[in-house]
Chain A
Amino acid sequence: MNTNNFSVQIKDLDLAFGPVKVLRSLDLDINHGEFLVLLGSSGCGKSTLLNCIAGLLEPTDGQIFINGENVTWKEPSERGIGMVFQSYALYPQMTVEGNLTFGLRNARMPKAEIQKRVARAAEILQIEPLLQRKPGALSGGQRQRVASGRALVRDVDVFLFDEPLSNLDAKLRADLRVEIKRLHEQLQNTMIYVTHDQIEAMTLADRIAIMKGGNIMQLGTPHEIYNKPLNKYVADFIGSPSMNFLDGEFKGGAFVKGDVRLPMKGYEFQAAQTPDQAVTIGIRPEHVITGELVANAPVKMEAKVELIEPMGSDTLVWVRVAGEPFRIRVDGQTQLRNRETLTIGIDPARASLFARESEVRL
């Protein structure tokens, strides 16, 4: 197999701490210049995978290639990677400039070259005025930038980010998210980014790998992941408020639960023939049609409003469908009253159908 087409390639990677398997025969190919986000809840193995790529953890089995070169047994410093840590890991007794140059000085790089690289990194990250300060005198956002700068001066092809924005408050996180995206646009190098924040993942990624229990549950563009989740776990994990799930039967091309019948017209099945079986249907709250558009909806039904949660831009409405609680997201300006009866429309083409047992998309 030609491995040169990929920036980072992971083949059949296993990692076990004693009897605990953290990564299970994991394969992942990352293209040059791609922004890949590893997304998952805590303990899913995403940081472990990143540490394996960085060379900070030794895999039990499998291989890692970076730029076509087998680096499985190489030291982190020889892999051509730069890494940004959650706690930033800046050296507190050195100035910002000292932090940026320490690794380079240690590698006995010529002074002129170090100067050039620091100047470039400082310019890109806009930290020139901070160069003589110590990390203790910087704000969280500034520290984050310096940490990125330390990866930047290494002049490498692959950047690894280990939850770099987790220690910041919500507003700053949104600002720096944009900065990281801009940095990627500007540098065009491969970035692998670990996070548990789905908004970060959706906004930044070219592709997202959703992980659970050491496996990749789905690898795809944010669009695919959001619209066509391959299994129930991914469907549930992505989206806020999360997807509505209804357990029912798939009978003769329609989803049936009690007196609710949803003909799956326009739904793209994975297989040409789908036999009748027990299924779970997933419908995103924002994909439920309300208001004037209901007239054109393929499936219509009546629902009684049970609870209203206004969130400003949107309002979350709790209703009951086939006896189960069901969330609907409507425009924040809609006037609704409790116990009001609402006509809602569902488009089966935008729903997701999963086999009940295997939880795999049909």
Chain B
Amino acid sequence: MTVADTGTASATRVHRRRPRILRNLASKTASIPMVATVLVIFIGCTLWTVIYSFTKSRLLPVPLFETMPLFSIPVPHLLASDGSWDFTLITGLKSSSFVGTDQYDRLWGTRRWIVSIGNLGIYGLCSMTFSLVIGFTLAALLDRKIRFENAFRTIILYPFALSFIVTGLVWQWILNPNFGIQKVVRDLGFENFVFDPLYNDKYVVYGILIAGLWQGTGLVMCLMLAGIRGIDEDIWKASRVEGIPVWKTYVMIVIPMMRPVFVTSVVIIGAGIVKVYDLVVAQTSGGPGISSQMPALYVMDKMFKDQNLAQGFAASTVMLMTVAIILIPWAYFEFGRKKNV
């Protein structure tokens, strides 16, 4: 009797089952805004930018299929008003908005862009290396059960709370030869001391780098410290019993165990590098000359100052492609491999 009952109950439930699209309707509805955002902003706008980078847009985006007379046949007809003859032109259509890779040719022919790329390369490489090394070293030092750990951690993380504009301004003052470090050291009596990285086109990138590191390493340190703390205390005891030096334990055992933390840090630092803009604006505005130009600065200038939208789009497309070229193989190895195992 009971068996039969359950049988009917489950049968009706199967019968009532709604079509796939209507199941979990509430959660699907709730995710619509996010899905829309992704489709419109991330994918839509990216595609739009890429497509328009092949046009000749200047102040405003051009209509994609602007017309231009390809051929014209004059058709005579009488004007109603005064009875005289007039000609109307019948025109053929031709897409004239697309200029092919012209914007890219121009981009790579611009010295300012080449300098930007070079600067970004130096800045990125140094920023990535030093952020990781300094961040990890600070975290390792803090991890050695020191006194006032919380105070140190706060002090080191504090710059992260400032905006890049403020950081840039502060460091512009510190590195300014007339008020900053150079002035202080000269006042101490070293009359010939020179330290003006922001005013020297050879070292200006490193001046920006200092400010960037000052701001960014705190966060990396906190991430690393959390990672180090997450490692089992027994691992340290085991390595001590085996007589492995502390530095070797860090390098050979702790760092490999912290792989996820390093991945997170690399992503955060990497994103910071690619979009470096405000720091440069606040410190040098790309000067002296064009010696501290960055790609993001180039894009902004082209789009909003030079009224050359398509050129800015082309530059940002190149930036996107560069990131994708680095990211896609990495993501493939990182996530694709795990699926196979």
- Interface residues of A, Cβ cutoff 8 Å to B: 51, 54-56, 75-78, 81-83, 85-89, 91-93, 102-103, 106-107, 150, 154, 162
List 30 A–B pairs whose Cβ atoms lie within 8 Å, in order of A's numbering: A51-B237, A54-B237, A56-B237, A56-B241, A76-B240, A76-B241, A76-B243, A77-B240, A77-B242, A81-B241, A83-B241, A85-B234, A87-B234, A88-B234, A89-B235, A89-B237, A91-B252, A91-B253, A93-B257, A102-B242, A102-B244, A103-B244, A106-B242, A106-B243, A106-B244, A106-B248, A107-B243, A150-B238, A150-B242, A154-B242
Judge if B105 is at the interface, Cβ distance under 8 Å: no
**Count of B interface residues, CB-CB < 8 Å:** 16
The docked-state distance in angstroms from the alpha carbon of A56 to that of B237 is 7
The docked-state distance in angstroms from the alpha carbon of A162 to that of B232 is 14
- Interface residues of B, Cβ cutoff 8 Å to A: 232, 234-235, 237-238, 240-245, 248, 252-253, 256-257
- Contacts A93-B256, A106-B248; is A85 near B243 (CB within 8 Å)? no
Q: Are A75 and B243 in contact, CB atoms less than 8 angstroms apart? A: yes
Binding site of B, secondary structure by majority: helix, strand, loop or mixed? helix
Closest to A51 in B: B237
Query: In whole Å, how far is B17's beta carbon from the nearest beta carbon of chain A?
Result: 40
Query: In whole Å, how far is B129's beta carbon from the nearest beta carbon of chain A?
Result: 22
A-B contact count (CB 8 A): 60
Query: In whole Å, how far is B163's beta carbon from the nearest beta carbon of chain A?
Result: 39
- Contacts A91-B253, A93-B256; is A103 near B235 (CB within 8 Å)? no
Q: Are A85 and B244 in contact, CB atoms less than 8 angstroms apart? A: no
Closest to A151 in B: B241
The 8 tightest CB contacts between A and B, nearest first, are: A77-B243, A103-B242, A89-B234, A89-B238, A85-B234, A93-B256, A76-B241, A83-B241
Query: In whole Å, how far is B245's beta carbon from the nearest beta carbon of chain A?
Result: 8
The docked-state distance in angstroms from the alpha carbon of A91 to that of B253 is 6
Q: Which of B232, B241, B252, B253 contacts A77 (CB 8 A)?
A: B241
Query: In whole Å, how far is A333's beta carbon from the nearest beta carbon of chain B?
Result: 38
Query: In whole Å, how far is A65's beta carbon from the nearest beta carbon of chain B?
Result: 18
Q: Are A92 and B242 in contact, CB atoms less than 8 angstroms apart? A: no
13 more contacts with CB within 8 A, not counting A76-B241, A82-B241, A91-B253, are A54-B237, A56-B237, A75-B240, A75-B243, A76-B243, A77-B241, A93-B253, A93-B257, A102-B244, A106-B243, A106-B244, A106-B245, A150-B238
Across the interface, which residues of A come within 8 angstroms of B235, CB to CB? 89, 91
Q: Are A56 and B244 in contact, CB atoms less than 8 angstroms apart? A: no
Closest to A86 in B: B234
The docked-state distance in angstroms from the alpha carbon of A86 to that of B234 is 8
Across the interface, which residues of A come within 8 angstroms of B248, CB to CB? 106
Closest to A104 in B: B242
Query: Most chain-A Cβ atoms within 10 A of its Cβ — which of B232, B234, B241, B257?
Result: B241
Q: Are A83 and B238 in contact, CB atoms less than 8 angstroms apart? A: yes
Query: In whole Å, how far is B260's beta carbon from the nearest beta carbon of chain A?
Result: 12
The docked-state distance in angstroms from the alpha carbon of A87 to that of B233 is 9
Q: Are A78 and B232 in contact, CB atoms less than 8 angstroms apart? A: no
Closest to B237 in A: A56
Across the interface, which residues of B come within 8 angstroms of A150, CB to CB? 238, 242
Q: Are A85 and B242 in contact, CB atoms less than 8 angstroms apart? A: no
- Contacts A85-B238, A89-B237; is A103 near B256 (CB within 8 Å)? no
- Contacts A89-B234, A89-B235; is A56 near B240 (CB within 8 Å)? yes
Closest to A107 in B: B243
Closest to A153 in B: B242
Across the interface, which residues of B come within 8 angstroms of A154, CB to CB? 242
Query: In whole Å, how far is B44's beta carbon from the nearest beta carbon of chain A?
Result: 42
